[in-house]
Each structure stands twice: as structure tokens, then as C-alpha cells.
Chain A
Amino acid sequence: MTTITAPLAPEAPPSDARPGAVAVENFSFWYGPKQALFDISLDLVPREVTALIGPSGCGKSTFLRSINRMHDLLPGTRSTGRILLDGEDVLDRSVDVVQLRQRIGMVFQRSNPFPRSIYDNVAWGPRLNRRPSRSALDEIVEQALRRAALWDEVKDRLRTSALGLSGGQQQRLCIARALANEPEVLLLDEPASALDPIATQRIEELLWELKKELTIVIVTHNLQQAGRVSDRTAFFYLGELIEHGPTDQLFTAPREERTEAYITGRFG
């Protein structure tokens, strides 16, 4: 395996300049008449990885998608409470969802590269949002691919189709694509669930590097993965946040019985 280098983008501002703190306050969410999330309050700390765990259908993904307002597309959804990004409520109607999504990147469960070249995939966001010069764009693409630990594997085939990459490479490409927007927060919805162990390991190592600059939130069904990659863990069950805290503590000394039952594999 190639070693993972983490060259910080030279033009990237020092990490203090990019707080990316997310504070969720009494957030509830409904799909039509069905309430999916109940009064969630949770702080997502910058430069840490927060893992969201819990059985299927417990609201982890719903919660994750609320942070960058992916639910806006679905008719009939509504919410109460606040989700503050650096002190600003992202749910407020006045917030431009387009700008919001540039500050909060997202990686999905199934890798979803556009059926275009590797280069075009990474350049997608910057092209729209910042309109850089050609050489600046080359630089942005290279930096994003380096940060996603993909550069060495694709630097000689940037103009070939992204669909020719392996599953793990495609997922790292999707991470690079999100990073090219210079987000403050990165949301990952079970990013490794469709990958083999080696590819999964690479993604996890990558998160260790990326959290030096970003707020990272990862939904995972894999408890070992949550234990490996996260600083904090939040346990969701039936739309409620049962317990959250430092990962070590939650896994070794859970306060709630339901948490213990879940992490010891008694249900889920």
C-alpha cells in the first residue's frame, strides 16, 4: 500500500480561520405526518470526527441530510429547532442553500461519480462556484486529489472516465470532489459500506488526515469503524439521540442500557 501523505493545500488558510462548528438545538424532523427525529441536541466539534451509530431506520441519515438541507427536495418534510453552523441557523429560509452546500460537503453511501473524466468530476464544484482560471483549476484539482489520497493513482489518467476507477477509488474521488469546494464540514453517509476491507482502511486513514482541517460527521453501521475513526460517537435509536460522548467512553462505559445493548450486539 502506498503511504498516505497529507500535504496541506498551500493556499489553505490556517485551520483556526475555519471553525466549522455545528450546534444542533432541539431539532425535530417529519416526513409528512411521520416524525423521524425527536428533539435532537448535539454539538459537532471542529477538527474531530463524530460518528453516528444506531440500527437501520433510526434517523442517522435523516439527521445527516438535515445538516446540508438535502431534504429540501422532498415535498412534505418539515422540521423544528435549529442547526447552527458557525452561529448561523442553516434551516433559516434566508440561508442560500447553494452556498450552504458548498460549505458542507457530502459523500454518499454509493459512490456517485459523474460519468465524465476524473478531472471534470473534481473540477465540478469549483467551476461553478469560483470560476477559477485554467491553471488555478489544475491546482485545485491536484490539491483535492492529494488530500483525498488519490493523486498518485490517477495523476496519469485524469482525462479518462471516472467510471473506470475501482469502487474504493471512486469513493475517494467523491471525497476529492467534495474537498475541491473547500468545505468546512464533511458529511459521510456510510461511505465504506460497499467497499472491501482494504479500501475501507484507506478511507478511514484518510479521515484521520482530513479531520485536522474539517468537522467530520460519519454515519456508520460498523461499530468497529466508529471505534476506529471517531473522537465522539452519538447513538440514535428510533429517532431519538439516546447518548453521545467521547467514543472511548461510550464504548467502554455507556450510561444508557440501550446503548450498551446495541454496542454489545444484543439488537440492531
Chain B
Amino acid sequence: MTSRAPRRSIRARRARSAAMVALTVVAALLATLPLVLILGLLLKQGASSLNWAFFTAMPKPVGETGGGMANALAGTLMLIAIASAIGLPVGIGAGMYLAEHRGGRLASVVRFLSDVLNGLPSIVVGIFAWQFLVRPVKHFSALAGGIALAAMMIPLVARATEEMIRLVPNSLREAALALGYPRWRTSLTVVLRTALPGIVTGALVAVARIAGETAPLLFTAFGNQFWSTSLTQPISALPLQIFSYAISPYEEWHSLAWAGALVLLALVLVISLIARYVTRSRFGHGHD
């Protein structure tokens, strides 16, 4: 064997390496480009219509200027609350089951089905919710919308919880068991608490994901031009309001739709930032 490669081949190798690095940099920039463009466009189009009234005022009838989306904002928050109240306990519980019985047959069936549910087009979830929650009672409701969103949330939360619980070292489980902790209590106090920041992050990501969902709400929450906080009445939501305003023929409504889109994006951004912050303090636990 010769002692070392000739100089030229090293230079060629370095050039190839540099080219590859450059390609990945370009790809990374392209990956963030859509978000930057969307944000720029929304700021340009929506910021001008964004004022205090947008958050506090109700929609005005066609032809009147001004008005806001207070009902849609409240509706979105309420739908998120309903979805979380159902989706988080079920999702976290299912995730705990998947993590603690990872080898079991039921676990692999549940894991597979939750992956399928996760990949299900959201419009299908909406139709399903309509069939079972709207048709029987013959009217749209906030509850049906919240449940449809919960169905989208559960697989996300369950898989995030499972991943986070798996990251908890087995030695911690053993430590608690060796101190005389029953198994259920070990799961709850040691495993779940250690995994909690990660689970919170997963939950927030799931909330951010459903906050902007439109399709599952089309035939469930339906939308509402008036103020409503009733579970059994149709309720407005930001994405629904944006949709109906954007396809309307009125200039005034178009700009309100832009503003609504900007607010929705800001909401998702804030939730994501909180999720990031929680992740960063994962092993801090308030001490130190």
C-alpha cells in the first residue's frame, strides 16, 4: 500500500465536501423560506387591519366598516379547551400504556392504529364527527368540533408521551421500586414526572397543530356570526372565519381575513415558543 493519497485527490475530496455542505445550506434555507414568505405576506396584508377592535368587536354586517373577530377568537380558545380536556388525558394515558407495555400485542395494535389516525386527512375526521355527533342531534355544535379536534390530538399526544417516557432511564424506575414504591405509583410519580416537561412540549405542539385546523370544523363547529359560548350551539373559530371572509366578495372582509390569519399564525408561534422553552428546562425542574 502506498503511504498516502496524492495531493490532488485530497483537494478534490475537499471540493466535493464543500459542495455538499453548500447544498445542505441551500436546502436548509429553502426549508425556512415558506414560513418567512408567509409571515412577510401576512404582516404586509394583515397588519393594517389589525387593531384593538379586531380582538374586541363582533363582526359587522356587510357594508359597515370596522368590526372584528372577537367571537372567532373566543370560539378558537374554547374549541382548544374542549379538545385538550378530552385529548390530553386520553392521549397521555394511551402513551403511558404504550411505553410501559411496549412489547405487548395490544400495544402494537394501538400504536399502529394511532399512527393511522395521525395520518388520516383531517377532512375525514370532520366527516366522521359529523356522522356521529352532528347528524343524530341534527345540529352543529362546539362540542362536536372539540371532539373532532381531540381525535386529531390524541395520536400526537400519545406518541409524544410514549417517546418521552421511553427516555426515562430504567435505573430511575428501579430506584423507586427498590424503595418500596408500587408499580403504578412509580409510573405516576417518578416516570411521568420525569417525562413531564417533554410531555408538556408534545401537548403544546399538538395544541398548536389543531389550533389552525379548518377541515374538521367545517361540518361540526360550523361557524357562527354571533357570540356563542354554548357547547351545543355552532361556534365560530378563527380558521372558519378566515375561510368564509376570504371567499367573500367584500374588500373589507378580505383584509379582516388577512388579519385573522396573522393572529392565528402568531398564536401558533407563541405556543411553539412556549413548547421550546419548556423543552429547554427539561432537566432543570426549578432547582439550580
Contact = CB atoms under 8 A, between A and B. Distances in A.
Interface of A: 68, 70, 73, 98-102, 105-106, 108, 110, 112-117, 124-125, 128-129, 159-161, 163-164, 174, 177-178, 181
Interface residues of B, number: 21
B172 A112 contact: yes
A105 B287 contact: no
Contacts of B194: 114-115
Given A114-B172, A114-B190, A128-B185, A101 B177 contact: yes
A161 B169 contact: no
A160 B175 CA distance: 20
A204 B196 CA distance: 37
A102 B179 contact: yes
B185 A159 contact: no
A101 B171 contact: no
B178 A70 contact: yes
B64 interface: no
B285 interface: yes
A128 B172 CA distance: 16
B179 A178 contact: yes
Interface string B165-180: 0000101101111111
Interface of B: 169, 171-172, 174-183, 185, 190, 194, 283-285, 287-288
A181 B180 contact: yes
18 contacts: A73-B177, A98-B180, A98-B181, A99-B180, A100-B180, A101-B177, A108-B171, A114-B175, A115-B194, A115-B283, A115-B285, A116-B285, A128-B180, A161-B284, A164-B287, A164-B288, A178-B178, A181-B180
Contacts of A128: 179-181, 185
Closest 9 CB pairs of A and B: A102-B180, A161-B287, A112-B171, A106-B178, A101-B180, A125-B179, A112-B175, A161-B288, A98-B180
Contacts of A100: 180
Contacts of B172: 112, 114-115
A161 B282 CA distance: 13
A111 to B, nearest CB: 9
Nearest to B194: A115
Given A70-B177, A106-B178, A181-B180, 19 more contacts: A70-B174, A70-B178, A98-B181, A98-B182, A99-B180, A102-B180, A108-B174, A108-B178, A110-B171, A112-B172, A112-B174, A112-B175, A113-B175, A116-B287, A117-B287, A161-B285, A163-B283, A177-B175, A178-B178
B179 A177 contact: yes
